[in-house]
Structure 1
Amino acid sequence: MKLKSTLIVLSLITAPAFASDQLVSKTREQVRAELAQAMQSGDMLASGESGLTLKQLNPGAYPATASAQAAKSREQVRAELEQAIRTGDILVGGESGAKLNEVMPDRYPVVANASSKTRAQVKSELARAIREGEIVSVGEDARKLNEIYPDRYQAARHAAVAATSGEASQAPRF
């Protein structure tokens, strides 16, 4: 099995060399060196259908790369963890992907989200979207109404263009 996975990785490493238009190809020793480096660093694909590298499956068995090393101090990480615990910004156990402050909102302080638009602005945007057919239709295709019924919303589009250009008297009415 290891021979099979080694041959697969070797073929994946050498495939770009054959596919490229470069005049210089890698020698057998260079390919072997790259393979040895990939095996040592854990950059080889693991067996199975996961598509993960050996380093991703077992990160403790391989040395950490410079990009994977944290630039934060231990105290900074602890402070971030304490903040996340206080605010409930930690994932709940299981497969839901929900955070503690979403599952039990009464135990954590409410985070206020400031709205950037007023109610009147939102209402006017909704009215424009309805008028121009920018509303997603009901169904599985996720097309907008103006894509499904272009003839119904063509007049509205012309009216909107005419209103912005000052030619409202020439615009078709419906």
Structure 2
Amino acid sequence: MKNARIAMLALSMTAAATGSALASDTTAKTREQVRAEFFEAQQEGTLIANSETGTTFRQMYPGRYPAATASNTTRAQVRAELVEAHQQGTQIANARSGATYRDLYPNQYPTDMASTVTREQVRAELIQAQRNGTLIANGQSGATYRDLFPSRYPTMNDAGAAMLGLAPLPNATRMN
């Protein structure tokens, strides 16, 4: 008796949600046709799960229902993509954060980037950043040493700031 009530309630909610489609259908349906439509909607997740919001079971539990659109990808292609993602470390390791295996274990995967900058150029850039205060002092805020200790670094004119990619410092005396 209870199952019959639940089935009738679900069927009435489905009918209410698709009211315009049912209203345009003037042919009488048999009991078996209605049951077949009900079971099909149940399998597809299109039954209303929450009558207040109109949310369907598919919307509430998307992992329980098959994808609505058919894929042109074969099983072999999906397996090949999975193997490639596993080898490259792009497979999701932590669903909550979305971190990949490469993010969690960077030493286990080769780097993809080939640098065009020499070691000497990097050292020269580091020394220049230390001298002019543009080296990052706080990784969380991104503040530079110039931001934290402005008195240690001389102010610069607009040409010097433009050369370093900095905007001129506000309210500072400029060296000309």
- Normalised TM-score (structure 1): 0.46
Structure whose alpha-carbon radius of gyration is higher: 2
TM-score for the superposition, normalised by structure 2: 0.45
Give the structure with the higher percent strand: 2
